[in-house]
A and B are shown apart, each in its own frame.
Chain A
C-alpha cells in the first residue's frame, strides 16, 4: 500500500497546529466530517468542538477549513478527557471533484484511507488508526447522501454515519423514512450498511446524540468497520487507443454499481418502513428484494411522485412557490438585501460611534495625559501612539460591529435555508459572468460596504469563483464613496446633483459587468458556473448558540488577520505625514504640505493632470482615500484649510475652493475634472481595511495585482471621462 497521499491537512489541538506527519507523540484521533452542502455538517462541527476551533487554509490552496478539538470525558475512568482533532471539510455531493474545495474533501478522505494502521509513515492515534470519517447524512434527502457515503466507503476509510435533520424528516411528507423513529431508522441503516449509525441533533447539545457519536467513533477507531454490500468490479488498466473508451466504460459501470447499492439500501429502508422487514435485521448483505415486486404501490424507492410526495405540500413547499418564482423571488431577494443594508448600517452605526468616541476620544485623551506625566505630550511619540497606533486600532474596532452584524445576518440567512433559494433565483443573471447565483449577494452587499462583501464571498462553493467575485467587489460603489459624490456633485452640478450621483451608481454596475466579462475572457477562462444543482434545505429556525459561535470566530479572524495590516498601514501614513521633507521642522511638527506625504502628493499631481485634477489637493485627498474613502472630504477641508462641512451637500467655502482649483488644473473644465475625479474614486482601491481583508482571503499576489489594475483602470477611465467631457 502506498504511503504517498495528498499533502496532509492541518489539524488543531490545544497545543497548536500539527500535521499527520508529526511522529513525536501519538496524534489525537483525526475525525473528518464529510457531507453534502446544507446537511448540518458545520452545526455538528460547532457542537463537537465548541470554542476549541480555528480556521486555516488547506495546504497549497486558498480553501478555508475549520479545524478543532473534540473533547469528551473518558468513560468510567479518571483519565483526562479524550481529544480528537476534527476537520470540517468543504461540502460536496461527490468525491469526483470539480472545484478546489471539493478536491480538498476528496483528497482528505483518500489521505485518511491511505493511512492504514499497517502504514509506518502515518501517525496513528492511540486507538490504532489515523482517523475516522464521519459521513453526515441528511435524513430528508437520503438517496443523495447515500451516494456520497458509497463513494467514501469504497475508499476503505473507517467510517461512522451521523444522521442529521431528523426533526425535519419527521415532519416532511416527502421523506420516505419520515414516519420512522430516529433510533429505528438508525437501526435499519446499520442493518443495511454494516457500520455504526448515530442520529444526532447538533442543535440540541443536551440530547443530541453527541456522546453516542463519540463512542461510535472510538469503537470504529479501535475496531475498524466498513460498509457492506458494495461490490465494485475490479478495474483494468489499459493503454492505447481503446484506453479512453475503456476508462469511461469502467467509470459508468462503477457508478452503476454504487447507485445500485444506494437503491438497495433505500429499498431496505422502505421495507422496514412498511413493515415488510424487521428494523433489527442483521443480515448485512443487503438481501432486500426489489420493491416493485413486493411493495404496495406508492411505497419504496420507486412508486413515488416526482419529489416522492405522498400527500400535500409542506410549509417549505408553500413558501417556495413564492420565493422560487422569478417574478416574486427577485423582489423578495432585493428586499432581503435592503434589510441587510439597513441592519448593518443602522445597528452598527451607533456602536461604531461609541467605539470611535471611546478609542479616539477617551482612550486617546488618557494616553495623552499619561504621556504628559512623563513629559512626552506634544512629541512625536504622542503622535505615533495616538495618531498612528491608536487611530489604527480604532479603525479596526469600528469595523467590528459592521462585520459582526453582517456575519450574524448571513448566518441567519444561511441557517434558515433562505440563502440557497436566493442563489437559485439569482442564478441566471450571474451566469453571464461565469458565476452562479450565490455571487450576487456579496456584490450587492458591496454597495453598502466592501469589507463585509468580501466576507460574503465565503458563501460561494468554489475558490476561483470566490476570487473572481472578490476582484469585482471593489468596483461596487460603497456608501463611503457617496460622501465624495455628494460633495463634488453639489459643488459642480448643483442643479443635477441627484442625476450625477445616480449615474455614478449606474457606472459602478457597468464596471462590475465589464470587469467581470473582461476577467472571464482573460485570467478566469477556466471559471464556469457549474450547473447549480442544490438540494434546497427545508426552512428551519437558526440556532442562536451556533450562530453566536460562528460570528465570534469570524470576527476574531477578521480582527487578527486584517487588523494587523490596517494598523500597520495607518502607522505608515502617520509616519509619512510626520516626517518633514526639509530640515526646517522637527518630526511631527511639519505642516502637511512640507511633510513627505505632502511632497508625495505634489509628485503624484502631474500624473493626474491628463484627468484634469492634477493639483496637490486632489492628489493628497486620493492618497488619504486609499486609507478610507470617508476621509476624502476631510482631507480636502484640511488641505484647503477650511472647516469640513457638516453636510457634504452644502459644500459652502469648500465648494468654492474646489471649483477654483479644479477649474485651474483643468483649464476651465472643472465640471469634467470633477466627474473624472469621482470616476477615479469609484474605480480605485476602496480602503486599506478592504485591502487587508482581500489579502487575508485571497493572498498577497492577487491582492497586489488587483490594486495595480484598479489604479491603472481608475486613471485610464478618469482621463477618458475628462478628455471626452472637456470637449463636449
Chain B
C-alpha cells in the first residue's frame, strides 16, 4: 500500500495527530504531514475544530469550495 493510501486509511480509521499517524505507520513525519496537507487541500481530510475545508461542520461556499464538495447539493459553490 502506498504512503498516500496508508495515511488516509489510517486517518479515517483511527484519526490522530500527524505524529501519531507517523508513529503507527512507521513513516517520516514530514511525509505524513505532506499527505495530510494535500488531502486537507482537496477537502478529504478535516482538522478537528476547523470545518472549513471539508463538510465537518458546515458547507463551504464560493470559489474556495474544495473538490470534495463539488456537486454536493448542500454546497452553494
A residues lining the B interface (CB < 8 Å): 93-94, 96, 98, 141-144, 147, 174, 176, 241, 243-245, 247-248, 251-252, 255-256, 259-260, 262-263, 266, 301-308, 431, 526, 528, 530-531, 533, 535
Chain B contact patch, size range: 35 or more
Residue in B19, B26, B41 whose CB lies within 8 Å of A94: B41
Contact of B39 with A by CB under 8 A:
yes
The yes or no answer to B36 lying at the interface (CB within 8 A) is yes
Compute how far the CA of A251 lies from the CA of B39 in the bound complex, rounded to whole angstroms. Answer: 10
**Chain B positions 1 through 35: 1 when the CB is less than 8 Å from some CB of chain A, otherwise 0:** 01111000000000000111011011111110111
Q: Given A144-B30, A302-B26, A94 and B37 touching (CB < 8 A)?
A: yes
Can you report 13 A-B residue pairs in the complex whose CB atoms are below 8 A from each other?
Answer: A143-B30, A248-B44, A248-B68, A260-B3, A305-B26, A306-B22, A307-B19, A308-B29, A526-B64, A528-B50, A530-B50, A531-B40, A533-B36
Beyond A147-B34, A304-B27, A305-B26: 5 further Cβ-contacts under 8 Å?
A98-B41, A248-B44, A255-B38, A530-B52, A531-B50
Q: Which residues of B contact A245 (CB under 8 A)?
A: 71
- A431 to chain B: closest residue by CB: B49
The answer to whether B22 touches A307 (Cβ under 8 A) is: yes
| A-chain residues with CB within 8 Å of residue B68 when the two chains form the complex | 248
Contacting residues, chain A, for B52 (C-beta < 8 A): 528, 530
- The answer on a CB contact under 8 Å between A94 and B38 is yes
Which of B26, B28, B44, B47 has the most chain A CB within a 10 Å cutoff? B28
Q: Give complex CA distance A164, B18 in Å.
A: 24
What B residues does A243 contact at CB under 8 A? 70-71
| Shortest CB distance A47–B (Å) | 25
Least Cβ distance of A629 to chain B in Å?
A: 38
Partner of A144, one of B33, B42, B53, B64: B33
In the assembled complex, the Cα of A77 lies from the Cα of B13 at a distance in Å of: 63
Select from chain A the residue with minimum beta-carbon distance to B75.
Answer: A244
| Bound Cα distance from A174 to B19, whole angstroms | 13
Whether A251 touches B67, Cβ cut-off 8 Å, given contacts A302-B27, A308-B29, is yes
Chain B residues within an 8 Å CB radius of A306: 19-20, 22-23, 29
Q: A248-B42, A259-B4 are in contact. Are A301 and B72 (CB under 8 A)?
A: no
- Please tell me which one of the listed residues A93, A98, A307 contacts residue B28 in the complex, with CB atoms under 8 A apart: A307
**CB-CB under 8 A for A535 and B50, given A245-B71, A302-B27, A306-B22:** no
Cβ contact of A143, chosen from B31, B36, B71, cutoff 8 A: B31
A525 to chain B, nearest CB (A): 10
CA distance A619 to B63 in the complex (A): 47
Q: Is B38 in contact with A533, judged by CB distance below 8 angstroms?
A: no
> A260 near B36 (CB under 8 angstroms)?
no
Chain B contacts for A93, CB-based, 8 A: 34, 37
For A301, give its contact among B3, B23, B42 (CB under 8 Å): B3
Which residues of chain B are within 8 angstroms of A535 by Cβ–Cβ distance?
30, 33
CA gap between A262 and B7 in the complex, in Å:
14
- Flag if B4 contacts A244 (CB, 8 Å): no
B30 and A533 contacting across the interface, CB-CB below 8 Å: no
Residues of A close to B40: CB separation below 8 A: 531, 533
Which of these, A141, A244, A305, A307, contacts B72 with CB under 8 Å? A244
Q: Give every chain A residue within 8 A of B41 (Cβ-Cβ).
A: 94, 96, 98
CA distance A251 to B53 in the complex (A): 15
Using CB atoms, name the residue of chain B closest to A245: B71
Q: Which residues of A contact B49 (CB under 8 A)?
A: 431
- A98: which B residues are within 8 A, CB to CB? 41, 53, 64
Please give, as numbers and ranges, the residues of chain A lying within 8 Å of B30 by CB-CB distance: 141-144, 308, 535
The B43-77 residues at the A interface (CB cut-off 8 A) are 44, 47, 49-50, 52-53, 62, 64, 67-68, 70-72
**Hey, which chain B residues are within 8 Å of A526, CB to CB?**
62, 64
A256, B4: Cβ atoms under 8 Å?
yes
- Evaluate whether A305 and B23 lie within 8 angstroms (CB atoms) in the complex, with A98-B64, A255-B39, A263-B2 already known: yes
State how many angstroms separate the Cβ of B47 from the closest Cβ of chain A. 4
Which of chain A's residues has its CB closest to B4's CB?
Answer: A259
**Nearest CB of A to B22, in Å:** 4
Give the CA-CA distance A144 to B3 in the complex, in Å.
Answer: 12
Out of A147, A252, A266, name the residue touching B44 (CB < 8 Å). Answer: A252
- Contact A147/B38 with A243-B71, A259-B3 known, Cβ cut-off 8 Å: yes
Complex Cα distance, B30 from A262, in Å, reads: 12
Contacts of A308 in B (CB 8 A): 22, 28-30
Residues of A within 8 A of B47 (CB): 531
For the complex, give the distance between the alpha carbons of A431 and B33 in Å.
Answer: 20
- Residue of A whose beta carbon sits closest to that of B49: A431
